[in-house]
Amino acid sequence: MASDQAKNAGAVAQEHHMPPYQAYGAYSPPFPVYYDPSHPEPNGGPHPAPPYIYHYPPPGMMYPFPPPGRSSFVAPFSVVLSYVRLVGFPPYAPPPQTNFQRVKRKQVKMACTNCANACKRCDEHRPCERCVKYGIPETCVDGVRKERQKGIKRGPYKRKNKSGGSDTATSPTHNPSFETNGDPTWHPPNGVAQGSATATPAPSSMPTFPPPPPPPEGGYYPPPYFYPPPPGFVPPSEGQAPVEGSPNSGVPPPMMPYYMPPPGYYGPPYYGPPGVPPPAMDPAQAELQRTSGPPIDHDPDVEEIPPPAPKTNSKKRSRVGKDGQPKAKKTKVAAVVQESSTSSGTTGGSDQASEPGHGSPAEIGDA
């Protein structure tokens, strides 16, 4: 079987995490934005109830960005999206590991034969909830686990490094790539010390984001361009950095200064005044970046996390044709069925657990 690391690589972005109560900016997909209920809500209203959403900026879209002077992004939810940046914003690089804690899927130790056959969730009780739901409690019995094979020779193990980075559980707060910001040439701006902000300390399970780069010549920090603009946000006055909590005005602005980058725009972060879209990139340069990709400042030594792969038709199954050719069934399920067929009543055999239309619990799916 593939290693768990490899298996989990894509799953992190795919699974539904239960975000910790901490808000952070995000660098690039699949990094989420978290919500921090320790900060006041606009209008002093109550915090939204969990689960808190993630914001996955679409590729090519702007990205949440830690506000100036903050080593991490902690803000009311409505502010979270107020700091944005464009793809390829130097000198940031995504950390090699997201490490966002994921809620593990709970599994029962032994699913009943009906649920196992249907590949559906079971529970500890007998009859299980699903069997009761479908009126087949009498057939809700445990299957029989196969005994693990013994005497299987295994190759030599690759000993993992105990001191660090042995696995994905390494605290991201100690991720060297964070400390160097993934870029050896980058240094935190003066006066922006790590942890200097009033931000709620990140739990150990959460990444600590590095401080933002200094504003460019002229002193602008990214204006609060939104995509989409959070309701009720009041943009800061020109030339000012976004102020945390600014949405608290409670007065919905008539029009938010937000924009989408023009097509083909892969340029640097735009520091212009609020409401003014970035200039279009030079066509030649845009074309070059379209073909070779946006300017990436990623540490070449840092493994890049690819954006969530678009859903493919990989799960497309070829079904039984009109003229026969039954598909091979899952043998492991079939084995369970076979072993418990005397009590469960499901049809045994290694080729099929049950037949459609016979009311067998195995094919009663969840509604």
Partner DNA sequence: TCTTTCGGACCCTCAAACAC
Partner DNA sequence: TGTTTGAGGGTCCGAAAGAA
DSSP annotation of 142 reads: B
Q: Which stretch binds DNA (CB under 7 A): 39-47, 93-101, 180-188, 315-323?
A: 315-323
If one asks whether residue 3 binds DNA (CB under 7 A), the answer comes out as: yes
Residues in region 10-29 near DNA by CB under 7 A: 10-11, 14-16
- Contact characters 75-114, DNA, x per CB under 7 A: ---------------------------x-xxxxxxxx---
| The only residue of 330, 341, 343, 350 in contact with DNA, by rule CB under 7 A | 330
If one asks whether residue 287 binds DNA (CB under 7 A), the answer comes out as: no
Residues in region 116-135 near DNA by CB under 7 A: 116, 118-122
Residue ranges of E strands in the chain: 63-64, 84-85
Q: How far apart are CA 63 and CA 33, in angstroms?
A: 9
The nearer residue to DNA, 4 or 238, going by C-beta atoms, is 4
Helix locations, the chain, DSSP H: 4-14, 77-80, 113-118, 129-133, 176-179, 283-292, 331-344
CB of 341 to DNA, least distance (A): 15
Look at residues 129, 113, 130 and name the one whose alpha carbon lies nearest to residue 332: 113
With contact defined as beta carbons under 8 Å apart, do 24 and 66 qualify? yes
CB of 337 to DNA, least distance (A): 10
Contacts of 321 (CB under 8 A, 6+ apart): none
Q: How far apart are CA 303 and CA 288, in angstroms?
A: 24
Q: How far apart are CA 166 and CA 183, in angstroms?
A: 22
Residues in region 332-361 near DNA by CB under 7 A: 332-333, 335-336, 352, 354-357, 359-360
Q: How far apart are CA 363 and CA 357, in angstroms?
A: 8
CB of 136 to DNA, least distance (A): 11
| The only residue of 315, 323, 324, 325 in contact with DNA, by rule CB under 7 A | 315
Residues in region 260-279 near DNA by CB under 7 A: none
| The only residue of 46, 49, 157, 325 in contact with DNA, by rule CB under 7 A | 157
Q: How far apart are CA 309 and CA 27, in angstroms?
A: 17
Q: How far apart are the first and last CA of the chain?
A: 32
| The only residue of 44, 46, 49, 162 in contact with DNA, by rule CB under 7 A | 162
Look at residues 188, 39, 17 and name the one whose alpha carbon lies nearest to residue 100: 17
- Contact characters 185-214, DNA, x per CB under 7 A: ------------------------------
Q: How far apart are CA 367 and CA 359, in angstroms?
A: 15
Q: What number of other Cβ atoms are within 10 A of residue 364's Cβ?
A: 20
| Token output for 224 | 């609060």
156: left (phi over 0), alpha (psi -120 to 50) or beta: beta
The nearer residue to DNA, 107 or 190, going by C-beta atoms, is 107
Q: Which stretch binds DNA (CB under 7 A): 150-158, 225-233, 234-242, 266-274?
A: 150-158
CB of 143 to DNA, least distance (A): 5
The nearer residue to DNA, 282 or 366, going by C-beta atoms, is 366
| The only residue of 23, 74, 81, 115 in contact with DNA, by rule CB under 7 A | 115
Q: Which residue has the tokens 């942890």?
A: 195
If one asks whether residue 310 binds DNA (CB under 7 A), the answer comes out as: no
Total chain residues near DNA (CB under 7 A): 74
Q: Which residue has the tokens 């909830």?
A: 129
With contact defined as beta carbons under 8 Å apart, do 101 and 20 qualify? yes
Q: Helix or strand or coil: residue 112?
A: strand
CB of 248 to DNA, least distance (A): 35
